[in-house]
């Protein structure tokens, strides 16, 4: 839930690392933003300076004038509270008693209460309620016994249980940054005359494209010209693990849009094109489909948006492969993992590849012998690394907290997977499969057309709907998971209550809420022939009770009566409908948020990557 950065540089090459720390940290703000902090070793002295407070990074930077300080090395942190309320004391970095050691941390130290008690009984004085502070005092404890900092780190790590990505500065070794990783993500950026550590790639791109993805259990230090990694006391040969990241810096910035969310909605055509092209030219889909086809039981899981993509997969697998799949919400894994066995497969959908609920589901299924397929957007993240097969979407970095482009690229990858499984199961022959798969090449065009044709109407609709306290989104078939995802987006960024239901279910209870003017958005999806009449019936039921009815539909629903606003998103068949319907729903959520003066990139109470259960 937090983001960490650390930089150390040769002052002859880079006079001060402060701007790198600030910029690098700002690109991690999506990971959490209730407080921020910096620990720097000042140029020309070995003074350790700490600036930290509640608030967003810019607020903390300007409050303490952080940019004015010259630093040879430093660490920084953006926080999303897990232990202790957001305030100055609980903001990272945390220090030892003598203010010589400063630590930033992402994750949770499970046994911090015992460690704290032990340290306090040894005379250490704590200044915060956080789990992190124990790390600073543990290091101090071992250093004071005469151990080197590296040895102290080894000893401290052997005592810590839980998840962590740590970056540490020590006043006595001004050009070194120590680090450690277990469960929480951490990368090293290898630069010219500097090296850095960070929780994620966007914070490195402006400075270096050479990255090492650290593995669980690795720790060590960086200096301006040295990277030192160890695991279980043995030196790690990292040189062959350096990967070159091709994402442009612009990919990680707003690209001229007022918000990342809007930029990311608008770049869906490109993300879809790249995902389709990537999948077509790799063996991932076929390998994964073979595993699915040969499995007795098929499960799929994910959290939030990724779970909705999982539901789309269940729809296509039923329609095309005639196979049943059991979708479950990742945090409910305890119930379902008992059904896993050697002949089962679990598909874990996670754009970040780090969501703890999804990771726990993966591990529980694995323990019971199940095979695992990951669908992720982040190469080298934990979920794909712990899976038998990884299928990657190619959406590029998603900075907006609300998932948009990663959802549709997940849908594309999962559709390809369902089609290939249908082919291996024999329900689609080779030429049918090739024809269906090729249709996915048009996802990009369909999304672009929908964005173009619906944008203006959606903007006007948002103005009308912004005063609503609540609304329904109803669909049938493929429209159901898309409705769930649309409602989630509206809730997340506009804070308007939006609830999705299968349209046929609405009369079994939800219709009780309908009173004059209550907005009900219907999704009209293919197959139009089968669904048109049923949707018409549901529209009339709502209209009869005074609802404000909106129909967002593919071509073919024009004749539906009782509709106040019809938004035609263009022609799209069963394979392509998600790309036509989803961008207008995302745009509606975005426009509602901005019409209400909310910041859609930083919705309250939410973090991009949820690494606590
Ligand atoms: C919604 C959203 C979240 C994530 C969920 C899973 O806009 O972003 O619901 O979808 O936290 O995240 P990943 O896909 O990274 O596992």
Rounded (10°) CA dihedral 479, 482, 483, 485: 170
Examine the domain organization and report whether 318 and 412 are in the same domain.
yes
Last residue of a domain, one of 210, 225, 252: 252
Examine the domain organization and report whether 532 and 557 are in the same domain.
yes
Last residue of a domain, one of 395, 428, 461: 428
Last residue of a domain, one of 428, 461, 482: 428
Q: Distance between CA 48 and CA 491 in Å, rounded? A: 43
For position 176, what pLDDT does the model report?
98
Q: What is the DSSP letter of 262?
A: H
**141 domain residue, yes or no:** no
H helix runs in 46-148, sequence order: 57-64, 112-121, 133-144
Cross-strand partners of 243? 211
Ligand 1 pocket mutation, candidates 390, 610, 613, criterion most atoms within 8 A of CB: 610
**149 domain residue, yes or no:** no
> For 380-404, what is each residue's pLDDT tens digit?
788 999 999 999 998 877 889 999 9
Examine the domain organization and report whether 418 and 488 are in the same domain.
no
**607 domain residue, yes or no:** no
Catalytic residue among 2, 54, 371, 405: 2
Ligand 1 pocket mutation, candidates 300, 355, 484, criterion most atoms within 8 A of CB: 355
For position 322, what pLDDT does the model report?
95
CATH assignment at residue 269:
3.40.50.10490
Q: Exposure pattern of 246-277 as b/e (b: 16+ CB <10 Å)?
A: eeeeebbbbeeeebbbbbbbbbbbbbbbbbbe
Let me know if 2 is a catalytic residue. Answer: yes
Q: Which two tokens stand for residue 314?
A: 């269940």
Sorted by sequence, the CB contacts under 8 Å of residue 483 that are 6+ apart come out as 473, 474, 475, 500, 501, 521, 523
**520 domain residue, yes or no:** yes
**594 domain residue, yes or no:** yes
Q: Whose CA is nearest to atom 10 of ligand 1?
A: 305
**23 domain residue, yes or no:** yes
Let me know if 608 is a catalytic residue. Answer: yes
- The 3-state DSSP composition of the chain as helix, strand, coil percent (nearest 5) reads 40, 25, 35
For position 184, what pLDDT does the model report?
83
**446 domain residue, yes or no:** no
Examine the domain organization and report whether 41 and 183 are in the same domain.
yes
Are residues 30 and 54 in contact, defined by beta-carbon separation less than 8 angstroms?
no
Give the distance (Å) from ligand 1 centre to CA of residue 601.
14
Overall average pLDDT of the 75-99 stretch: 88
Are residues 201 and 354 in contact, defined by beta-carbon separation less than 8 angstroms?
no
Examine the domain organization and report whether 399 and 478 are in the same domain.
no
> For 348-382, what is each residue's pLDDT tens digit?
999 999 999 999 999 999 999 999 999 998 877 88
For position 32, what pLDDT does the model report?
66
Share of the chain above pLDDT 70, in %: 97
Give the distance (Å) from ligand 1 centre to CA of residue 250.
23
Are residues 134 and 116 in contact, defined by beta-carbon separation less than 8 angstroms?
yes
Confidence label for 530 from pLDDT (cuts 50, 70 and 90):
very high
Q: Pick the atom of ligand 1 nearest to 352's CA.
A: 15
Examine the domain organization and report whether 288 and 245 are in the same domain.
no
For residue 560, the enclosing domain spans 451-601
> For 208-264, what is each residue's pLDDT tens digit?
999 999 999 999 999 999 999 999 999 999 999 999 887 776 666 676 688 999 999
> pTM of the entire structure?
0.73
Q: Is residue 604 scored above 80 in pLDDT?
A: yes
> For 156-201, what is each residue's pLDDT tens digit?
999 999 889 999 999 999 999 999 999 788 999 999 999 999 998 8
The domain tally of the chain equals 3
């Amino acid at each position: 839930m937090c983001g960490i950065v650390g930089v150390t540089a040769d002052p002859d090459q880079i006079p001060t690392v402060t701007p790198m720390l600030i910029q690098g940290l700002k690109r991690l703000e999506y990971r959490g933003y209730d407080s921020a902090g910096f620990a720097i070793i000042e140029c020309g002295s070995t003074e350790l300076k700490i600036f930290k407070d509640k608030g967003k990074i810019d607020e903390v930077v300007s409050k303490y004038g952080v940019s004015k300080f010259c630093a040879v090395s430093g660490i920084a942190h953006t926080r999303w509270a897990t232990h202790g309320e957001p305030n100055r004391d609980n903001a990272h970095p945390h220090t030892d008693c003598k203010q010589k050691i400063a630590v930033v941390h992402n994750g949770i130290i499970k046994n911090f209460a015992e460690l704290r008690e032990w340290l306090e009984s040894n005379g250490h004085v704590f200044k915060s309620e956080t789990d992190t502070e124990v790390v600073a005092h543990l290091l101090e404890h071992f250093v004071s016994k005469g151990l080197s900092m590296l040895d102290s780190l080894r000893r401290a790590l052997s005592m810590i249980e839980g998840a962590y990505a740590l970056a540490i500065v020590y006043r006595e070794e001004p050009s070194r940054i120590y680090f450690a990783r277990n469960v929480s993500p951490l990368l090293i950026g290898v630069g010219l005359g500097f090296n850095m550590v960070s929780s994620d790639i966007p914070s490195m791109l402006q400075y270096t494209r050479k990255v090492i993805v650290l593995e669980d259990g690795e720790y060590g230090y960086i200096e301006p010209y040295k990277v030192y990694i160890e695991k279980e006391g043995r030196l790690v040969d990292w040189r062959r693990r350096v990967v070159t990241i091709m994402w442009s810096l612009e990919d990680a910035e707003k690209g001229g849009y007022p918000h990342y969310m809007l930029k990311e909605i608008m770049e869906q055509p490109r993300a879809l094109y790249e995902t389709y092209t990537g999948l077509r030219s790799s063996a991932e889909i076929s390998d994964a489909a073979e595993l699915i086809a040969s499995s007795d039981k098929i499960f799929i899981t994910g959290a939030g948006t990724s779970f909705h993509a999982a539901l789309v997969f269940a729809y296509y697998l039923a329609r095309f492969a005639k196979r049943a799949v059991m979708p479950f919400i990742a945090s409910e894994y305890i119930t379902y993992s008992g059904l896993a066995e050697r002949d089962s497969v679990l598909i874990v959908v996670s754009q970040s590849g780090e969501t703890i609920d999804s990771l726990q589901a993966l591990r529980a299924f694995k323990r019971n012998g199940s095979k695992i397929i990951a669908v992720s957007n982040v190469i080298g993240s934990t979920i794909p690394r712990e899976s038998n097969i990884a299928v990657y979407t190619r959406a590029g970095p998603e900075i907006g907290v609300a998932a948009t482009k990663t959802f549709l690229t997940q849908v594309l990858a999962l559709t390809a997977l369902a089609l290939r499984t249908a082919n291996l199961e024999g329900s689609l022959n080779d030429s049918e499969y090739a024809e269906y798969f090729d249709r996915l090449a048009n996802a990009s065009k369909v999304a672009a057309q929908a964005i173009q044709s619906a944008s203006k109407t959606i903007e006007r609709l948002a103005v009308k709907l912004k005063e609503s306290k609540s609304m329904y989104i109803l669909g049938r078939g493929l429209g159901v998971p898309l409705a769930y995802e649309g409602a989630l987006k509206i809730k997340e960024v506009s804070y308007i209550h939006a609830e999705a239901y299968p349209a046929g279910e609405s009369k079994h209870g939800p219709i009780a809420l309908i009173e004059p003017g209550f907005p009900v958005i219907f999704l009209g999806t293919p197959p139009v022939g089968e669904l048109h009449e049923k949707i018409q019936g549901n529209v009339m039921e709502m209209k009869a009770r005074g609802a404000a009815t909106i129909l967002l539909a593919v071509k073919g629903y024009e004749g539906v009566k009782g509709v106040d606003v019809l938004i035609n998103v263009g022609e799209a068949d069963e394979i392509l409908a998600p790309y036509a319907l989803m961008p207008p729903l995302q745009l509606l959520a975005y426009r509602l948020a901005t019409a209400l003066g909310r910041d859609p990139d930083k919705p309250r109470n939410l973090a991009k990557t949820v690494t606590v259960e």
